[in-house]
Amino acid sequence: AQTVTQSQPEMSVQEAETVTLSCTYDTSENNYYLFWYKQPPSRQMILVIRQEAYKQQNATENRFSVNFQKAAKSFSLKISDSQLGDTAMYFCAFTAYNDMRFGAGTRLTVKP
Binding residues for another protein, total number by CB under 8 A: 25
Tell me which residues in 65-104 interact with another protein (CB under 8 A): 91, 93, 95-104
Residue 45 sits in the site that holds another protein (CB under 8 A): yes
Q: State the minimum distance, in angstroms, from the CB of residue 37 to another protein.
A: 8
Are 79 and 61 a contacting pair, CB within 8 Å? no
Residue 28 sits in the site that holds another protein (CB under 8 A): no
The closest of 38, 25, 21, 22 to 90, measured between CA atoms, is 38
Q: State the minimum distance, in angstroms, from the CB of residue 112 to another protein.
A: 26
Nearer of residues 82 and 94 to another protein, judged by Cβ: 94
Q: State the minimum distance, in angstroms, from the CB of residue 99 to another protein.
A: 6
The closest of 29, 105, 24, 36 to 72, measured between CA atoms, is 24
Number of helices (H) and strands (E), helices first, in the chain? 0, 12
Residue 62 sits in the site that holds another protein (CB under 8 A): no
Kindly calculate the radius of gyration of the chain based on its CA atoms and give it in whole angstroms.
13
Q: Is 108 helix (H, G, I), strand (E, B) or coil?
A: strand
**Which strand (E) or helix (H) includes residue 51?**
strand 46-52
Q: List contacts with another protein (CB under 8 A).
A: 4, 6, 33, 37, 42-47, 50, 52, 91, 93, 95-105
